[in-house]
Amino acid sequence: MKIGYARVSTADQNLDLQISALKNAGCEYIYQEKKSSVAERPELDKMMKFLRDGDQVVVWKLDRLARSLKHLLLLIEEFKTRKVDFMCLTNNIDTTTPMGLCFLSIAGAFAELERNLIIERTNAGLAAAKEKGIKLGRRPGLTESQQVIKKAACDLYIKDMSTIDICKSLNISTATLYRYLRAGNIAFRGNPGRPCCKKV
């Protein structure tokens, strides 16, 4: 079964173009979302719950589905594990073809590079703070080194790195991570909703 997912960032934007393209591609169901990429997306969660072995997820553009390259790769990996195919209409990606799989492999390499660069910049910032004689001990408010770690934690979280991996990479506790996210006004990830769908 072909299942479409359409999204616009705000309530006053129109989904008609995406829905029309998804219907023309043969989608039997289309989940429709009016949320920004960084907000909780209940329709996406419902679609992920609804998917079954042999289904194919179809989107108009990659940025309609994922909030980041890391998020996209995580979704694609879940599709693969659950034996669900993926197609993007405007980017000409189809995981049932060799070229589609090749594209995803290259994208995965760039995502890993991006994650490593963020961690490298964080370590460089900590080293620079130490050279300036800045103490890394705890004190009221955030020190310069903690500000560096906070920015890195927020960046990695937005790029959809898991909380466990963030804490391990930056050597911080989960409580500290969520304190940094609150301070950075980063929305926490929501829980998946129940499976349901919209007939088109």
Q: Which residues are catalytic?
A: 9
DSSP string, 138-177: --SS--HHHHHHHHHHHHHHHTT--HHHHHHHHT--HHHH
Of 155, 151, 149, whose CA–CA distance to 115 is shortest? 155
DSSP state of 82: T
For residues 67 and 37, is the Cβ–Cβ distance under 8 A? yes
Asked whether the beta carbons of 62 and 88 are under 8 A apart, the reply is yes
d(CA 179, CA 189): 14
Which strand ranges, in their side-by-side order, compose the sheet holding 85-88? 29-34, 2-8, 56-59, 85-88, 93-94
List helix spans (H) across 12-171. Answer: 16-24, 42-50, 62-65, 69-81, 98-131, 144-158, 163-170
